[in-house]
Structure 1
């Protein structure tokens, strides 16, 4: 591979690292052609982009986009593929589902929701990760809960009692 070709690959990887907020570094080496095709099909269905990369080129691309965390660079040994996704937990759930058929892909590292996860033992944590929108929804639900309880109480029999108490207090002030 010429230096110009390497620069094109580095630029392409850097562009994908900018375009996708989450990526998983995996090892899919031992998969046969049928399993690889099945994995690629599942990636397509889940809107995950799977790319086989050279470690040195990925390292340079990570440096270019300023995501070259020391822990991420350490795992770049042996065969490497990278899964790009817009949803943080999509590759993790895909890996977990695919492992019912095979012992690969093995997670080397992941960059999800701005955090670095190292090692295959992080799959479960990544499957349970919530997106920013999901967290905002949870917070809104928690904030609405007390207001709903007050409204519900006011609309029920207790609400009539509260209204009676308010009227009594108003009449005393007059």
Structure 2
């Protein structure tokens, strides 16, 4: 890689790191191509970027971003996982992937500008993500409307039952 290519990579990485709401560093060791392909697919589905980075370039790209606080953790094989919308999504994907693999370790991360260790990322993974929170809010908003509709409908149903019972009484009597 020549100097201009390196500068271009640094510029692109810097731009992405500056936009990222969450960035996680992991250590992938000895993963086969099929396993990495599966991880990349899961990341794409969750709208998360997974990238193997060259440490020296990543350290230079991190300057002036929230990821700069992780500069000392860019050692050995390094995977950078970034999310630009949902801070929980990358933690969920990576924690799920790492739980049954000894050769993939979560190092640390930065979430909304705060440094989080591996245990913090695992705890973050247990929280509901943005889609789940939206769904919970929507159901909470819809619940009172549903109850109101039932309440408004109840007197009409009761009146219909009373009239039906009265009709049956008249038919039996008459």
Q: TM-score, normalised by structure 2?
A: 0.65
Q: 1:102 to 1:133 in 2, by over 3 A?
A: closer
Cα distance in 2 between the residues matched to 1:5 and 1:144: 53
8 Å contact from structure 1 (residues 23, 111) kept in 2? yes
Cα distance in 1 between the residues matched to 2:121 and 2:18: 23
How much has 1:26 moved relative to structure 2?
Answer: 0.8
**SS state of the match for residue 50, structure 2?**
strand
Pairs within 5 Å for 1:1-174: 3-17=3-17, 21-28=21-28, 31-32=29-30, 35-46=31-42, 47=44, 48-64=48-64, 66-68=65-67, 70=69, 72-85=70-83, 88-99=87-98, 101-112=100-111, 114=112, 116=114, 118-157=116-155
Gaps of 5+ in 2: 160-174
Q: 1:108 to 1:159 in 2, by over 3 A?
A: farther
Q: How many residue pairs get matched?
A: 154
Q: After superposition, what is the alpha-carbon deviation per residue over 1:85-111, rounded to whole angstroms, capped at 9, x for unaligned?
A: 465444434434433542132112234
How much has 1:45 moved relative to structure 2?
Answer: 1.8
Cα distance in 1 between the residues matched to 2:57 and 2:80: 12
Gaps of 5+ in 1: 162-174
Aligned to 1:165: none
Q: TM-score, normalised by structure 1?
A: 0.65
Cα distance in 2 between the residues matched to 1:131 and 1:97: 14
Aligned to 1:167: none
